[in-house]
A and B are shown apart, each in its own frame.
Chain A
């Protein structure tokens, strides 16, 4: 397409592409100076970024859908609802929006820092409310597509038979059939809850049809469908968290995401469950000491975070 650029110039361009990718990069004058030194440097830098984007785009290739274990029989279904979950919130200095793509599509990523949610309007009648410490990848060329990379989001989707709205969650695929639904993704599990309409989970393989009032959890390769209170779906938006027999590690990671602080749980509480509604509006210092007793514990603050334990630390 253009005459090849010298290898050492490309090496330098890659060096800048690496440096700029670092969140802490601030040598903008140095970068300007390098660009000014040779008029070809801007093109070399763009080429390095294009290559990087093309390679990295490969990492989001959908993996073959694999469910290591067969779906449990319907008798295993139980009436409980587990909301949220996730890695301990790592507070970012700012909601960071960056872009990266191959030329055929135009993906971009929106990430929120812990404790701050963001509403993304995709097209009229369709929006995504992204919870704190969460990330979605969207595509300017595909307004009816989203990938939940981590965390939790509520999808409000105007249904269109001709153009189904598709959400990728790791290797799994969700297709809306007219819908408001919530998706939470953690390292251990993916949870989907539907409050309006119908969502299809992995239409090509599992083909699980989730109607309003149903939730689905996939953890350790096992897929479980449960009932869910309609009010619970996306309740984090209103500052309340609603649970029915949820394990405490999940409750605590939801608290972490909603409050924007790291909240850890002492090991002796990990197997406990909670049923009820938690109001989480306010600062961590307001909320946690009030909420912890409801979970059967006590909240204490430590270096930049909080711990919920069964006894106050000495």
Chain B
């Protein structure tokens, strides 16, 4: 693993810079490698893909942490006191209502129920696109197009949620 890491270090750094790490690219990569080097050994099928994946996950973590910090600071500035999350019960009710809308939007995608089935298998059950295509007897590009369609519809729905 280490030799693969060293061999592809520049590629990973280039990815990190393009991904928005900027001057922190070296630091992020260092952290990623520390974590991998300290993790218990296990057989890894595609070490290079694994390194990229871990690097991408680290960038997503950074993005989330930054996002959460901005939210906290904004709330603090807005209200002048510690932010209060909405009561748990109310939050759950809103989420249930939204989930019902998501389910309805998925069910309405045509051809039904293929698009919905493909989305659920891919995104909620973690099946790969090739496996889904084989399973349903459709082409890989059909799976891709259906997923694109489902993601687009859900993005539009999420935009409406954000505006509420």
Contact = CB atoms under 8 A, between A and B. Distances in A.
B68 A61 contact: no
Nearest to A97: B57
Contacts of A98: 57
A14 B36 CA distance: 28
Interface string A1-22: 0000000001100110110111
Given A15-B144, A26-B48, A46-B20, 11 more contacts: A17-B151, A32-B14, A42-B18, A48-B151, A52-B151, A55-B157, A62-B92, A94-B44, A95-B42, A103-B67, A106-B68
A18 B158 contact: no
A106 B128 CA distance: 25
Nearest to B101: A58
Interface in A38-89: 41-43, 45-46, 48-52, 54-59, 61-64
Q: Which of A31, A94, A97, A99 has the most CB of B within 10 A?
A: A94
A56 B124 contact: yes
B128 A94 contact: no
A29 interface: yes
Nearest to B40: A118
B45 interface: yes
A101 interface: yes
Pick the 4 closest A-B CB pairs, nearest first.
Answer: A35-B18, A42-B20, A93-B45, A61-B95
Nearest to A95: B42
Contacts, number: 119
B99 A58 contact: yes
Contacts of A61: 92, 95-96, 99
| Range of interface residues on B (Cβ < 8 Å) | 35 or more
Given A42-B18, A61-B92, A103-B64, A55 B158 contact: yes
Contacts of A28: 11, 15, 48-49, 52
B26 to A, nearest CB: 17
Interface of A: 10-11, 14-15, 17-18, 20-26, 28-29, 31-32, 35-36, 41-43, 45-46, 48-52, 54-59, 61-64, 93-95, 97-99, 101, 103-104, 106, 116
Nearest to A29: B11
B109 to A, nearest CB: 14
A312 to B, nearest CB: 32
Contact of B102 (A11, A55, A93, A106): A55
Contacts of B71: 103-104
26 contacts: A14-B148, A18-B122, A18-B148, A22-B122, A23-B126, A23-B128, A24-B130, A26-B48, A31-B15, A35-B15, A35-B19, A41-B18, A42-B18, A45-B19, A46-B20, A52-B154, A54-B161, A55-B157, A58-B95, A58-B99, A61-B92, A94-B42, A94-B43, A94-B50, A101-B64, A104-B68
A102 B78 CA distance: 21
A98 B63 CA distance: 15
Nearest to B127: A23
B90 interface: no
Nearest to A118: B40
Most chain B CB atoms below 10 A, which of A46, A55, A57: A55
Nearest to B67: A103
A58 B94 CA distance: 10
Interface string B6-21: 0000010011001110
Q: Which of A15, A46, A63 has the most CB of B within 10 A?
A: A46
A63 B67 CA distance: 28
Contacts of A93: 43-46
Interface in B89-127: 92, 95-96, 98-99, 102, 122-124, 126
A32 B21 CA distance: 13
A110 B60 CA distance: 16
B60 A99 contact: yes
A36 B14 CA distance: 9
Contacts of B136: none
Nearest to B162: A54
A89 to B, nearest CB: 15
B115 to A, nearest CB: 13
